[in-house]
Amino acid sequence: QVQLVESGGGSVQTGGSLRLSCAASGFTYNRCSMGWFRQAPGKQREGIAALYFGIGGTYYASSVKGRFTLSQDNAKNTLYLQMNSLEPEDTAMYYCAAKRGGTCLYGDMRVANFGYWGQGTQVTVSV
């Protein structure tokens, strides 16, 4: 059984930084990708970054490219999202998600294709 647990959210001022963590368990075979989504009030869930295991590479949405960076600690089975130069528009609930099996396409961030989700962690950026 796959479990994803996020941590690291919080409140920062514009220009600040946060690092989110996603500790994964049970996600050890037939892995396509792990990534981060966010959802602001009244908006659709948006895929912002993903790490691809089989095909390799990382994907970033244009809204975060150059400011956010993915990394992983294989020993801890943890995916990190370093978020720099945060803006009020980054305020949202952030979710870690994982895709196993199926067709693995780079940049495919359709919510329905990710079968495993964490509980979310709130990020609030104030002016």
Residue range 15-62, pLDDT digits in tens: 999 999 999 999 988 899 999 999 999 999 999 999 999 888 999 999
Calculate mean pLDDT across residues 70-86: 96
- Quickly state the pLDDT bin for 8 (edges 50, 70, 90): very high
Instruction: Give the pLDDT confidence of 88-112 residue by residue, as tens digits.
Output: 999 999 999 999 988 999 999 999 9
* pLDDT on residue 50: 98
Are the beta carbons of 32 and 52 closer than 8 angstroms? yes
Q: Name every residue whose Cβ is closer than 8 Å to that of residue 64 and which is 6 or more positions away in sequence.
A: 48, 49, 83, 90
Confidence of residue 66 (pLDDT cuts 50, 70, 90): very high
The Cα 58–Cα 13 span in angstroms is: 27
Residue 55: per-residue pLDDT: 87
Tokens of 55: 């095909």
Among 50, 92, 46, 84, CA closest to 68 = 84
Query: What's the pLDDT at 54?
Result: 80
How much is the pLDDT for 45?
98
pLDDT given for residue 102 in this prediction: 87
- Distance separating alpha carbons of residues 111 and 31, to the nearest angstrom: 16
